[in-house]
Amino acid sequence: MEYTTLSNAKGEEIEGPLLLTPNVFKDERGYFYESWNEKTFNSILGKDVRFKQDNISHSIKGVLRGLHYQLKPESQGKLVRCSYGSIFDVAVDIRKESKTFGKWVSAVLSAENKKQLWIPVGFAHGFLTISDHAEVNYKATGFWNKDCEQSISWNDKDLKITWPKKELGFEPIINEKDASAPFFKDTIMKGKTF
């Protein structure tokens, strides 16, 4: 498995998230690849990461989910992949002591490219479905806990996330919960960051 660090639109490297590309073995019958190997993954990270939960999300084109994260005691690191279709995936650094606090990185994850995005604890996560349908699979290091769950507005003016809305051709489809998510400044003021 190969991996790369990610940089934001200004070329600033964001420490933490990694884009993982599996080794795919193809022949006339199709292909095979390991989507997950604990030993390989932990070797890449240089630490022991244990996943507690696997999640699957299906969305139609234009659905935007996020920006979500969980605080302690069930904070979550996520390993995200798209097994059907394609998504524009985003991770926002919400670690107060980080030099890239409030900065974001993105990657297109698709069934075709088979890439995965590692989003460690301390990042908010969201994605926009850019294919007709998409199935997103992600492993989480913490159990889902309603009391720990937090969100930040997907279109926060301070974060300035460049969602591919122009290519989409219409405004993203947002559920009520995400549409009413607080702005990043409010999240900071309430101490709901890492």
Give the H or E element holding residue 64. strand 64-70
Over residues 12-26, mean pLDDT: 96
DSSP state letters, 72-123: TTS---EEEEEEESEEEEEEEE--TTSTTTT-EEEEEEETTT--EEEE-TTE
**pLDDT surpassing 90 at residue 114:** yes
pLDDT recorded at residue 102: 97
The yes-or-no verdict on residue 180 having pLDDT over 90 is yes
Superfamily of the domain at 2-189: Jelly Rolls (2.60.120.10)
Output the pTM of the full model: 0.95
Question: 22-73: per-residue pLDDT in tens?
Answer: 999 999 999 999 999 999 999 999 999 999 999 999 999 999 999 999 999 9
Domain-wise residue ranges, the chain: 2-189
Q: Which residues, 6+ apart, have CB-to-CB distance to 55 below 8 Å? A: 137, 138, 139, 140, 144
The answer to whether 52 and 143 are in contact (CB under 8 A) is yes
Alpha carbon separation from 2 to 10, 20, 50, 65 (Å, rounded): 24, 6, 20, 27
* High-pLDDT (> 70) share of the chain, %: 100
- Residue 40's pLDDT is 96
Q: Which of 142, 124, 91, 116 is nearest to 193 (CA)?
A: 124
Predicted confidence at residue 119, as pLDDT, reads: 98
Q: What's the CA gap between 106 and 163, in Å, rounded?
A: 9
Q: Which two tokens stand for residue 170?
A: 């219409």
CB 120 within 8 A of CB 32: no
**Does the pLDDT value for residue 9 go beyond 90?**
no
Catalytic residues: 68, 138
Q: pLDDT tens digit string along 117-144?
A: 999 999 999 999 999 999 999 999 999 9
Average pLDDT, the chain: 96
Contact between 105 and 119 under an 8 Å Cβ cutoff? The reply is: no
DSSP labels, 28-39: TTEEE--S--HH
